[in-house]
Amino acid sequence: MHLKTPLSKAISTTKHHLSKLENLGIENLGDFLRYFPRTYNDQSNLRKIIEIRTDDINVIKGTLSQIIEIKTKYGKKLIKAKLTDETGSVDIVWFNQQYLKRVLYNGQKIILSGRAKFELGKITLISPEFEASQKKQLHTARIVPVYHETDGLNSKWIREKINPLLKYSKTLFTEYLPAEILKKENLMSYHEALIEVHFPNSLEKLEKAKNRLAFDELFLLQLKAIQKKWLWQQVEPQNQKIIANHEITTNFINNELPFELTNAQKSALNEIIGDLEKKHPMSRLLQGDVGSGKTIVAGLAIMNTILNGYQSALMAPTEILAEQHYKTIFKLFKNKNFNIKFLSGSTKQSEKKELYSQIENGTVDLIIGTHALIQQGVKFNNLGLAVIDEQHRFGVEQRSKLKEQQNPNLLSMTATPIPRTLAMTVYGDQDLSIIDEMPKGRIPIITRIIPEKKRKDAYNWIKDRIKKGRQAFVICPLVDESDTLELKSVVSEYEYLQNEIFPELKLTFIHGKLKAQEKEKIMTDFKDHKYDLLVSTSVIEVGIDIPNASIILIEGAERFGLSQLHQFRGRVGRGEHQSYCFLFMQNYSQTAIQRLKAMVDHTSGFKLSEIDLELRGSGHIYGIRQSGIPDLKMASLSDSKTITTARKHAENLIENDPYLKNYPKLAEKISELEKMYIKD
Ligand code: ADP
Ligand code: MG
């Protein structure tokens, strides 16, 4: 037996069951043993018959007698019996389970667990679960594991199949964590944790087992990231290091910018410039809310790169966003003698050719564009800095494409801030800079939860604003999974609003099923004020400046995560007008209201994602799913204590033994993890 032994060889079962397991992703022994319970029923406290209660599950050990089958006058079949222990006896009844006649017998020592009814002065146990009394109970009289069940695979079946395999766990799972870490963190050994997590001997042991398994996940994830970062830093960049020109930078900031940098922008810039000056290439993530001014920080890093004679690239996820950057940065450097070019999928073929050769021979100082920048023909002469905007919109591989060529400094940017400990795990191979401060003079967006009875008033109010020249967004409720339903919901909302509510206004709609180009066309037209109101699903593009749009109305707001609501809200408030965000709800639960209140009270994306993490866990944080990390089974990304501890150990280890030469099993584990990473 080894971990890769196919399940068909490890357990005896039917093809049918094997294919059900396969649907759950369980193909071999290792997968099966790592199929952890979803939860537990604590049935470890046995009751005597004299202690039976009617308000609770009773777990009782005793002897069966007087088993009989009865047919009621309504034709129902019952099995009745008595259970006796040293304190007395109790009646039992099972409905419609005729097979029990063959399974149970008088004199059998058994454990029952179930509810009891008190009627006509008599207590009866109703259809209890049962298990023959034996040395190791699996289904009763213990902390009972409950697994995710699919039809035909219930927990009882899984327990019976996993239990006999656990005896192999010691030989199958040799310990791979360094002994010092096990000792320092007082961790249970892996194989013991595996046994305890399936069939816990006590709640304390279960807790320790879970801790161990959670630690492993967070440790391995970070170890891998830190090792990746270390390895990457060993590769000599093809270009000489950059030396910042502080005089020109300060002059530029003082004389060419129409505003003063915020303190947060200054410190982010210092961190980035500090990295550029290091021998090994930068790998840094710049996090900051929409409108916090990340572009100018990137711009100043680009300027220093060009002043050192190197090329820069700036890549954005959509054409319209890339174009917006091009315009901004072109204007920013109007007094500099920089050769700045734009490249996207829709650049003409002949122009592309010319651009390719200019990029290759080094005449282009800065190329701004879309995915087109990582296409085959693009060869840089001496790329010193690559900037990726809205980095979570790119796949893991697309992101690494830009650094493959010449191992340049890499600056990623995101407007979906997440708490620091979380970012450390998810983006562990990058350093973090955070802009947590908005430029002075921004008018905060007013956010309100609107009760249904005020809907008409809200529509009238919006109409009034639009007549004064503003524009508005309406976001449709989240539709589960199905694109077709989502499409229907956005079209019907659009028709309703256009025909019934705003007949005199110009409306349009956008959704995920449209091609990228169609989406861009709608966004550009909306930006050019060809429409007053845009109805959208959650696909609405990030990062686009439409300063004239000052109202966003979100339907079914309670169904979105706070960080995503915050993203939506960032579509407005980019101009000189007071902006508004109206939240409508479909289900008014206490917790939903509490969550949405956070939107009213807080304007910081960091704060909101922290609250989201606390209330709903990490699965709902916008940007996590896109980050490419594997699903965690035991660990929680909100467990910042374990994250931090695990990270310290991982850093320590890589510092002393970057190739894990002294820990071959750990090294092997890391390469396994590599395969689990979501590929795109
Ligand atoms: P984001 O972080 O969302 O990419 P941008 O870089 O697009 O934000 O900046 C948003 C707007 O704020 C731009 O118009 C930019 O010129 C302006 N801006 C940036 N920094 C400052 C500042 N320190 N003071 C005032 N306005 C600023
Ligand atoms: Mg931006």
Nearest CA to ligand 1 atom 24: 439
Domain membership flag for residue 207: no
Assess whether the C-beta atom of 570 lies below 6 angstroms from ligand 1: no
Q: If you average pLDDT over residues 479-497, what whole number do you get?
A: 79
**Which bound ligand lies closest to the C-alpha atom of 327?**
1
As a whole number, the mean pLDDT across the chain is 90
526 and 566 share a domain?
yes
Residue ending a domain, among 574, 602, 630, is 602
Question: Does residue 643 lie in a domain region?
Answer: no
- In a domain, residue 122? The reply is yes
Does the structure show a pLDDT above 50 at 680? no
Is 434 a domain residue? no
For residues 597 and 516, state if they share a domain.
Answer: yes
Same domain for 568 and 466: yes
User: What are the two backbone dihedrals, phi and then psi, of residue 523, each rounded to the nearest 5 degrees?
Assistant: -65, -40
CATH of the domain at 87: 2.40.50.140
pLDDT digits (tens, 9 = 90+) for 313-325: 999 998 888 999 9
Residues 476 and 546 in one domain: yes
The whole-number pLDDT of residue 543 equals 61
Residue with the nearest Cα to atom 23 of ligand 1?
261
Which residue type does 66 have? Q
CA distance 377 to 384: 19
114 and 28 both lie in a single domain: no
Do residues 58 and 153 both lie within one domain?
no
Specify the DSSP class assigned to residue 618: G
Distance 295 CA to ligand 2 centre (A): 6
**Domain of 568, in residue numbers:** 446-602
Å from CA of 544 to ligand 2 middle: 8
CA 586 from chain center: how many Å? 24
**330 — pLDDT class (breaks 50, 70, 90):** very high
356 assigned to some structural domain = no
Least confident among 72-76, 538-542, 654-658: 538-542
Ligand nearest to the CA of 290: 1
Same-domain status, 30 and 54:
no
- Dist CA 172 CA 32 (whole Å): 13
Q: Judge if 21 and 129 occupy the same domain.
A: no
**Claim to verify: residue 514 and residue 496 sit in the same structural domain:** yes
Query: 190: closest CA among 335, 20, 3?
Result: 3
Whether 417 lines ligand 1, by a CB cut-off of 6 Å, is: no
Count of domains forming the chain: 3
Residue 295, ligand 1, Cβ within 6 A: yes
Instruction: Assign 391 a pLDDT band (cuts: 50, 70, 90).
Output: confident
Write out pLDDT tens, residues 195-207.
999 999 999 999 9
Q: What are phi and psi of 71, to 5 degrees?
A: -110, 125
Q: Would you place residue 619 in the very low, low, confident or very high pLDDT band (cuts 50, 70, 90)?
A: low
The one-letter amino acid at 402: L
Of residues 391 and 60, the one with the higher pLDDT is 60
Residue 285: pLDDT band (50, 70, 90) is very high
Is 165 within a domain? yes
> Residue 77 domain-assigned?
yes
Gap from CA of 291 to ligand 2 centroid (Å): 7
**What is the residue with the minimal CA distance to atom 22 of ligand 1?**
439
User: Could you give the percent of the chain with pLDDT greater than 70?
Assistant: 95
Cα 476 to ligand 2 centroid, rounded to whole Å? 24
Length of the chain (residues): 680
Domain closes at, from 550, 583, 602: 602
The string of pLDDT tens digits covering residues 496-532 is: 999 999 999 999 999 888 887 888 899 899 999 999 9
Cα–Cα distance, 572 to 446 (Å, whole number)? 10
pLDDT in the model for residue 228: 86
Helix, strand or coil, per DSSP, at residue 596 = helix
What pLDDT does 620 receive? 60
Please state the separation of Cα 676 from the chain's center in Å: 15
Q: Does residue 321 sit within a domain?
A: no
Residue 673, pLDDT above cutoff 80: no
pLDDT reported for residue 40: 95
Gap from CA of 294 to ligand 2 centroid (Å): 6
Residues 535 and 568 grouped into a single domain: yes
Residue 223 near residue 654, CB atoms below 8 Å? yes
Are residues 137 and 18 both part of a single domain?
no
pLDDT at 71 over 70: yes
366 Cα to the center of ligand 1, angstroms: 20
Q: Is the CB of 286 under 6 A from ligand 1?
A: no
Least confident piece of the model among 65-69, 71-75, 597-601, 626-630: 626-630
The CATH number of the domain holding residue 588 is 3.40.50.300
Give the number of whichever ligand sits closest to the CA of residue 574.
1
Same domain? 569 vs 589: yes
